[in-house]
Amino acid sequence: MKRKAISLLLTAALTIPVLSGCLDMDLTEDSSDESSKTSASDNTVSGLSMSVSDSDGKMTISRAEKKNKPMGEKDTWSIFVYLCGTDLESNGDSNATSDIGQMLDAEFGDNVKFIIQTGGTAEWMNDMFSTDETERYVIQGQDIELVESLPLANMGEADTLRSFLSWGVEEYPAEKMGVIFWDHGSGSINGVCFDELNDDDSLSLPEINYAFSEVYAGMTDQFEFVGFDACLMGTAEAANILSTYSRYMYASQECEPGSGWDYTAMGNAVSDKPSQNGGELGKIVADSFYKECQQTDEEKGCTLTVVDLQKTDDFIVAFNDFSKELYNASLNGSNLTSIVRNINGADNFGGNNKTEGYTNMVDIGGILDGCSDIADPDKALKALQECIVYNKTGSDHKHASGLSVYYPLQLEGSEELSMFAAVTISPYYLSIVDMIANGYSDDKYDNTALFGNGGNWSCDNCEYEYLDDDYFDYADEGDGTSKLISFSDGPAIDEDGSFYFTLTDDSLEYAYDVTAFLYMDKDGKMLELGETYDIYADWKKGTFTDNFDGYWLSLPNGQLICTYVVDITDDYVIYTSPIYLNGKRTNLRFRQNDEGIVIEGAWDGINDSIAARGIRELKKGDEIEAVYYTDDDTEIKSDIYKWRDGDNIVYEYLPESDYYYSFCIEDIYGDYCFTDNALFSIDENGDIFFTEE
């Protein structure tokens, strides 16, 4: 089918503004049948084996043979796109359709092909793709052709990916071949490509490993690159798995805008210089992606990294050595406190706050650098830098290293830890996570259970069988009753009218963060107005005093909004506020700096483990309802405010009234406690008076 034909079919969809995010299988079986779902435990090909002896702690990595015999003619490229449309397409933004249009706009000849498999969405915003079938298309020379239709398959199943790639490399072999996962991403734990027709089932990293290992067995070459046009997939765990099968990885540590990559730039670049390697192409992909982010004013949070996967083993070995040293030091309680504080101080990605949800993806370079006073990171940092071919970042992540790693900033339960244990790149790092998640005990932590088989840790294709299925059943998020926090003085109001407390020496050893929360009484319900870091903190003495100035944030009509801190630096603070926007629950993001407040837009956050792509601009006539959390864990909404041109968030004194203030102290094991509330009043002059409740 010619370019002109699809142009007519896509015209309406492509004019919609995008704002931002070798074994062939018969797909005639019903993919919804759970008995047909393949898991990593069904592996017949060993792509990756890792082991560590507890005696010397050294990591050994074995991979399938690194192949380098091209499968196609010189200067040919085949780029396989696993296009799982989900709500990025069905919500009307037509992000997938737009990217298909970009591929068609690229000027390349018969030596370059985009091979696409479609699925995973309730509705395509074009008249060509079907939601009732799994379809395969080829784009070549500004033409698109439907080459195969199959029964509808679950895009979150390993066998669906395996079938597509094995068919693709057999039918369209090339000198250089790439794979792109297109959809939502959720980092190392929940993976990528959430099929909205199958309960948002996704491809986990073990499933990706399984599919690639099966396909790779029938190949004579590695893939030139594997890329994730998806959120949060720039992780060390993903790089470790893909190192067996690919030379380069392209991925973002942060959430991506819905518009994603620039496929016209990619297609043109390959056509202009087909002899280039994946590292060279990756730089073009990253730069053009950044330019697209600039078009929607989202470049500040932009990240895209090109990783040389041939060098990741050296980094993993060095990181394991660092983690062993860090783990041994962590058995001393004061060192563990420093470790937790430093890790929590590293850059992190996604929401990671109460209202937006948690991705638990933390910059691995930030962990290495932050813990340098406890363990020597030099070899690991050098190896990490050698892995990173190119790292394009916006100003919000100017120190991001290029790869993230899982760390439970907020633990979501045992399943999350079990999934992490399957993909961890170091049993010693896993031991630190396990120690923290276990919580405090009078008994010394013992990681023997993680080192089975006579004191050796081993992981074959993301599984090690000796760990009991219920090992992580202890895991749970904190319940607000930390027994490690006690006070030597206060909480109380001092003679100057300030609210303060002093921790005992033992408590100070276990505390890692202190914030404050603001409340107001509404019809007998205590409404949470949010969180503030306006505190005088003396970590040496353990004394913390309010530094609240009475200012808060509101809608233009004076309606107070509930706010939480996303990120705080010397130059700015990024806030998020839970709202309903035109009847849909979301979050309003804005930043405050010396020049005032700038609204970034509405972001849906992490919903059922899926990180939203893209921030939506507020428009005239948008209906906004502020959301407040109550003391009985329910939410209430304010009256509707209709947004107008020129509106902005207001930062001014709280209205004259009574309010409540409470400190929140978090311990290093993920639990926390609140002080009793202090009542404070703001009078007509804006003066604050604290009193005991």
Q: Distance between alpha carbon 641 and the CA centroid of its chain, in Å?
A: 32
Quote the CA–CA distance of 609 and 121 in Å, as a whole number: 17
User: Contact, 324 vs 57, CB < 8 A?
Assistant: yes
Q: Residue 17: what pLDDT?
A: 35
Pairing of the two strands 77-84 and 176-182? parallel
Low-confidence residues in the chain, pLDDT < 70: 1-46, 693
Q: Residue 37: what pLDDT?
A: 39
Quote the CA–CA distance of 138 and 134 in Å, as a whole number: 14
Quote the CA–CA distance of 626 and 631 in Å, as a whole number: 17
Cα-flanking dihedrals φ and ψ of residue 346, to 5°?
A: -75, 160
Q: Work out the angle at residue 430's Cα, subtended by the Cα atoms of residues 426 and 433, and round it to the nearest 5 degrees.
A: 145
Here the tokens at position 517 are 């929360």
Quote the CA–CA distance of 490 and 72 in Å, as a whole number: 74
Q: Residue 46: what pLDDT?
A: 64
Token look-up 């948008």 returns: 622
User: Contact, 152 vs 198, CB < 8 A?
Assistant: no
Least Cα distance to 401 among 411, 391, 410 occurs for 391
Least Cα distance to 120 among 80, 160, 92, 148 occurs for 160
CATH of 3-25+71-312, one of 1.10.3720.10, 3.90.1420.10, 1.10.1740.10, 3.40.50.11970: 3.40.50.11970
User: Contact, 67 vs 222, CB < 8 A?
Assistant: yes
Q: Distance between alpha carbon 91 and the CA centroid of its chain, in Å?
A: 21
Pairing of the two strands 176-182 and 223-229? parallel
Give 544-607 as a DSSP string: EEE---SEEEE-TTS-B--BEEEEE-SS-EEEEEEEEETTEEEEEEEEEETTEEEEEEEE--EE
Domain residue extents for the chain = 3-25+71-312, 314-381+407-474, 487-692
Residue pLDDT, tens place only, 291-310: 999 998 899 999 999 999 99
Amino acid letter, 436 = I
User: Contact, 84 vs 610, CB < 8 A?
Assistant: no
Quote the CA–CA distance of 158 and 215 in Å, as a whole number: 11
Least Cα distance to 614 among 348, 259, 194, 200 occurs for 259
